[in-house]
């Protein structure tokens, strides 16, 4: 790759350390993940971006089903009256709800909400279907889109319509419902850590930050390149907050009528944003092999020469038995352009092969994560690719883990908190008294929100970082997307 090609390519993206927000948008557009549309606040997900989502979806769906979850599909339109039944829920979503007021040229008798989430719709149908404790648990999930009228949008991270899955379950006992809530959190952590190669912080949201209508909201948080936190999946325990207003009750084992216990949980295309922000660099996207639509791209050198394309196709067919592999045989662009394009799209491994390589029974492997190049024997290519992809997956996780360690600090008072987060943006561990006033003060002073109370708490001191009163919890704080 010539220096000129590399310089020209670098101009395509904003500097990742100087303007991370612009760099992010550049990567989304230039790597062909998505594009803006004429529908304000909504994006079109292009084939490459959608293939990433399909890989996430298929893996998640498999894990869900292994624990007994069944897929369903519910209407996108919800009568407004249903949302009014659960007060906290409707107040939490009121600013984001889009309404259909007219159809077929006539005004509707009742306004219909375009699905922001489906707790109310599931609840009303559960009330019809549930009769006895023998019917429990009911554990359903749907893959769908939802609409929330966000004021400020950004591709994948926050758009008015987005793709997600929403699980909704009802149970005989509180203990079973809480166990399901925690199990889903663990599944989400597995998806993000093992597939996306991003370490997560698991914890419980404070009352101020929890989902509208929930007793408890459990979260997985990830940290971006610039040290901001991204909520990447949530699992909610509702108790009977929905089952009572919606009359979701059953005859228990003693023959008495009782209300069921409920959960919901979800991940969305926001995970694509998490991938970009956790792994990307100055050259563009960087994808872990397990989630990458293309794991290996072969670039033929001097492909006009006899036998090159045939040998490359033969290699592709061999690798496609176990890996997602393609050939870049475009004639209108140079090999240097192809190398840059491969890096921009974050393809984990590229293979360069020309006449001399073929003659010597060798090829060049180039890793996207480190840009390391090495010559390998074609006779051992399948084993070399397998081992290299496994090492890339592991190394990318470790690189993220190292960044989190470097960007996690402890603060014992408010002055120290402010100084540290301004000097090195990231996670701040600090004790908290439990008072919302302190939570608000920290946010107003530093821009940091409470991310979660970790499942594994530490005792850093006896005093609240803000007011100095007796502390109840250790909280991880951070600025957010």
Q: Which of 101, 159, 168 is nearest to 139 (CA)?
A: 168
Residue 306 CB coordination number (10 Å): 7
Q: Which of 382, 295, 292, 298 is nearest to 335 (CA)?
A: 298
Q: For position 91, what pLDDT does the model report?
A: 77
Q: Which of 268, 59, 254 is nearest to 143 (CA)?
A: 268
Q: For position 4, what pLDDT does the model report?
A: 45
Q: For position 374, what pLDDT does the model report?
A: 97
User: What mean pLDDT value characterizes the chain?
Assistant: 95
Pick the CATH number of 296-403 from 3.40.640.10, 1.20.80.10, 3.40.50.800, 3.90.1300.10: 3.40.50.800
Structure-token pair, residue 101? 């007021």
The DSSP secondary structure of 141-207, one letter per residue, reads: EEEEEEE---SS-BTTTB-SEEEEEEEEEEESSHHHHHHHHHHHHHHHHHIIIIIS----EEEE--T
Q: Which residues pair with 258 in a beta bridge?
A: 250
Locate the domains of the chain by residue range. 17-77+118-279, 296-403, 408-478
| Annotation: CATH topology of 17-77+118-279 | BirA Bifunctional Protein; domain 2 (3.30.930)
Which tens digits make up the pLDDT trace of 174-228? Answer: 999 999 999 999 999 999 999 999 999 999 999 999 999 999 999 999 999 999 9
Assess whether pLDDT exceeds 90 at residue 316: yes
Q: What is the pTM of this model?
A: 0.95
The DSSP secondary structure of 286-329, one letter per residue, reads: ---TTT-S-SEEEEESSTTSTTHHHHHHHHHHHHTTTS-EEE--
Which residues, including other chains, have CB under 8 Å from residue 259's CB and lie 6 or more apart? 240, 243, 244, 248, 249
Q: Which of 116, 452, 39, 56 is nearest to 274 (CA)?
A: 56
| Annotation: CATH topology of 408-478 | Translation Initiation Factor IF3 (3.30.110)
């Amino acid at each position: 790759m010539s220096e000129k090609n590399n310089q020209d390519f670098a101009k395509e993206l904003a500097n990742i350390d100087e303007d991370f927000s612009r760099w992010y948008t550049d990567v989304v557009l230039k790597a062909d993940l998505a594009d803006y549309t004429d529908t304000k606040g909504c994006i079109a997900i292009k084939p490459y971006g959608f293939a990433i989502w399909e890989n996430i979806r298929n893996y998640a769906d498999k894990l869900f089903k292994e624990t007994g979850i069944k897929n369903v599909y519910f209407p996108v339109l919800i009568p407004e009256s249903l949302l009014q039944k659960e007060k906290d829920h409707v107040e939490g979503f009121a600013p984001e709800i889009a309404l259909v007021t007219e159809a077929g040229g006539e005004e509707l008798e009742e306004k219909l909400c375009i699905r922001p989430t489906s707790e109310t719709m599931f609840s009303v149908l559960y009330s019809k279907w549930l009769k006895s404790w023998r019917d429990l648990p009911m554990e359903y999930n749907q893959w769908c889109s939802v609409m929330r009228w966000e004021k400020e949008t950004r591709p994948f991270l926050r758009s008015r319509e987005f793709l997600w899955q929403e699980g909704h379950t009802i149970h005989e006992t509180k203990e079973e419902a809480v166990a399901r809530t925690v199990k889903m959190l663990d599944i989400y952590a597995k998806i993000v850590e093992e597939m996306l190669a991003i370490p997560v912080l698991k914890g419980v949201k404070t009352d101020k930050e929890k989902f509208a209508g929930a007793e408890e909201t459990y979260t997985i948080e990830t940290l971006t390149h610039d040290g901001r936190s991204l909520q990447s999946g949530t699992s909610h325990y509702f108790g009977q907050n929905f089952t009572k207003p919606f009359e979701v009750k059953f005859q228990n084992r003693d023959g008495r009528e009782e209300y069921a216990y409920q959960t919901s949980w979800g991940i969305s295309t926001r995970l694509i944003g998490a991938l970009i922000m956790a792994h990307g660099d100055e050259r563009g996207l960087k994808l872990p092999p397990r989630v990458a639509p293309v794991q290996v791209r072969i670039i033929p050198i001097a492909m006009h020469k006899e036998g090159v394309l045939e040998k490359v196709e033969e290699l592709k067919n061999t690798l496609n038995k176990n890996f997602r592999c393609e050939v870049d045989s475009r004639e209108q662009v140079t090999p240097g352009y192809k190398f840059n394009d491969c890096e921009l799209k974050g393809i984990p491994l590229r293979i360069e092969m020309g006449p001399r390589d073929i003659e010597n029974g060798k090829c060049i492997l180039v890793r996207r994560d480190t840009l390391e190049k090495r010559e390998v024997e074609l006779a051992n290519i399948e084993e070399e690719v397998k081992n290299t992809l496994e090492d890339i997956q592991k190394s990318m996780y470790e690189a993220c883990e190292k960044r989190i360690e470097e960007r996690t600090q402890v603060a014992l008072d408010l002055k120290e908190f402010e100084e540290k987060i301004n000097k090195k943006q990231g996670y701040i561990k600090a004790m908290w008294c439990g008072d919302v006033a302190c939570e608000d003060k920290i946010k107003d002073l530093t821009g940091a929100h409470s991310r979660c109370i970790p499942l594994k708490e530490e005792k850093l001191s006896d005093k609240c970082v803000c007011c100095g009163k007796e502390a109840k919890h250790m909280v991880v704080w951070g600025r957010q997307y």
